[in-house]
Amino acid sequence: MESMSDAMPAISILLVEDEKITLVLLTTILTRRFPDVPLYTAVNGRTGLKLFEAHAPDIVITDINMPDMSGVQMAEKIRAIKPDTKFIVITGDTGQLSLGASVGKSLEIDHYIAKPVRFQEFFAAVEQCLGEIAQREFDLKE
């Protein structure tokens, strides 16, 4: 007999961050807090997009300002591929947080988090996205 958890596809996360120390820290806390959630990591938007195309994760956590391809450019391309992807944007430039108003007109972002990351806020954003995805999957099965 198939259990409910066996029937549900695994929810996965893509983390895109060009600052290596931040990438390692966020990878460590995500894998400890959510050990059953597959996590893919990239150091820039272009690599993040390639990983997204290969794995189609449900949640993308990304920095905005990155070399090669910004988080916003990557998010726009991902939305064209999988419109229901959840986005958590992390930025050290608090002026970028106001980007939400302008980006929000064309690109829906689920959460904006300022650096330095407050883990309680970060975990709450990830948990909310996980819950919304699980609910959406459940509703589709009904």
Question: Which pLDDT score, from 0 to 100, does residue 9 have?
Answer: 56
pLDDT confidence tier of residue 11, bands split at 50, 70 and 90: very high
Q: Domain spans of the chain?
A: 10-66+75-87+94-141
pLDDT in tens, 77-131: 999 999 999 999 998 876 654 554 445 445 688 998 988 899 999 999 999 999 9
CATH architecture, range 10-66+75-87+94-141: 3-Layer(aba) Sandwich (3.40)
pTM: 0.86
Annotate the chain with DSSP letters as a single string.
Answer: ---HHHHSPPP-EEEE-S-HHHHHHHHHHHHHH-TTS-EEEESSHHHHHHHHHHH--SEEEEESS-SSS-HHHHHHHHHHH-TT-EEEEEES-HHHHTHHHHHHTTS--SEEEESSPPHHHHHHHHHHHHHHHHHHHHHHH-
pLDDT per residue as tens digits for the range 41-61: 999 999 999 999 999 999 999
Mean pLDDT of the chain: 86
